[in-house]
Amino acid sequence: MSKQVRFSIFSFKGGVGKSTIAYFLARNLSEKYRVLLVDRDYTNTIGKIFGLETGLINVISDGAEGRFITDEGNLRVLSLVSYFPSSLPSVKELAGVYSEILKGMEVVITDNPPGIDDIAGLEFKGYYEAVGEVHCNGFYVTAPGIALDLTLNHLGDIGRTMRNLVPRITYFRTAALIINMIRGNISEVLDNIRLRVPGVRVVGIPFYRDLLFQGFNRISTIPDMSELISVVEEIVTGGGG
Ligand SMILES: Nc1ncnc2c1ncn2[C@@H]1O[C@H](COP(=O)(O)OP(=O)(O)O)[C@@H](O)[C@H]1O
Ligand SMILES: [Mg+2]
């Protein structure tokens, strides 16, 4: 594997499992690769799980104190914001710090708020500035039903937004549409969805009652993400391109 490969976990609706998927995916991939997991969401779900007290942007803009980054073996976790900052740093300012954090990382996973906001946009620009290119393997997370309809109606929006943010983008691809929280017959549900999105890779994750009520960092049942992990492996071993 030669260059760094980025994956971004997106959705159009909150509460569909982005942070859960980002967390387990990062844990799994860090068994093989040096992984950076970037929390770009104001709720700071991932950062809090790893005991991070603040965000890099709060440190730059507001002089906040506390940890915003941590290393656990091959997994590095970075929290960008933990509360609304008084101002946003410039792209150059962020890129200066970010390039140090990105050094030696083989896989970068970003966990996002629903849609794309200012922080997600700034991170994307900062990455471009720090690395000299930016690409995106997007995972779109949805639950079946109304969230799915919304996702299918807006599938192209995020790619368009990302392309507008940077002068040049190496590529933007929808790596997979992830249908999370499936109850009942998974293959039947997925077959029906595949008919609606020809050409898009669709993977499913079952609904786990424990996961909903106990929080994803405390459960003993690891969600079955085997299909998703094989999509990631394919892209990573192919060098991302
Ligand atoms: N497959 C699943 N089955 C049951 N509960 C899930 C599943 N995936 C995620 N959850 C739960 O749903 C809630 C929202 O998940 P979260 O990852 O925070 O969503 P998002 O980041 O998209 O807002 C959490 O309580 C999480 O534990
Ligand atoms: Mg989240």
Per-residue pLDDT of 25-56, as tens digits, reads 999 999 999 999 999 999 999 999 999 999 99
Give the percent of the chain with pLDDT over 70.
97
| Count of other CB atoms within 10 angstroms of residue 128 | 20
At residue 241, the pLDDT reads 63
At residue 126, the pLDDT reads 98
Bridge partners of 107, per DSSP, are: 5, 35
Answer yes or no: is the C-beta of 221 below 6 A from any ligand 1 atom: no
At residue 183, the pLDDT reads 94
Answer yes or no: is the C-beta of 15 below 6 A from any ligand 1 atom: yes
* CB proximity list for 48: less than 8 A, separation 6 or greater: none
* Mean pLDDT of all residues in 89-94: 98
Which of 38, 151, 216, 222 gets mutated to test ligand 1 (max ligand atoms within 8 A of its CB)?
216
Tokens of 214: 């106990």
The pLDDT-based confidence of 1 (bands split at 50, 70, 90) is very low
Q: Indicate which ligand has the atom closest to the C-alpha of 20.
A: 1
* Mean pLDDT of all residues in 185-204: 95
Annotate 11-35 with b (16+ C-beta within 10 A) or e (fewer).
bbbeebbbbbbbbbbbbbbbeebbb
CA of 45 to the centre of ligand 2 (A): 6
Cβ-in-10-Å burial (0-12, 13-18, 19+) of 107 comes to: buried
pLDDT at residue 170 is higher than 50: yes
At residue 214, the pLDDT reads 76
pLDDT at residue 160 is higher than 60: yes
CATH class of the domain defined by 5-237: alpha beta
- Spatial CA neighbour of 109 closest among 179, 36, 160: 36
pLDDT at residue 22 is higher than 60: yes
Cβ-in-10-Å burial (0-12, 13-18, 19+) of 94 comes to: buried
Alpha helices per DSSP H over the chain: 18-29, 45-49, 56-62, 91-102, 118-131, 146-154, 157-165, 186-196, 209-214, 226-237
Model confidence pLDDT, tens digit, residues 70-88? 999 999 999 999 999 999 9
At residue 175, the pLDDT reads 96
Answer yes or no: is the C-beta of 174 below 6 A from any ligand 1 atom: no
| Ligand 1 atom nearest 141 alpha carbon | 22
The pLDDT-based confidence of 2 (bands split at 50, 70, 90) is low
| Ligand 1 atom nearest 23 alpha carbon | 17
How far is residue 34's CA from residue 137's CA, in Å, rounded to a whole number?
17
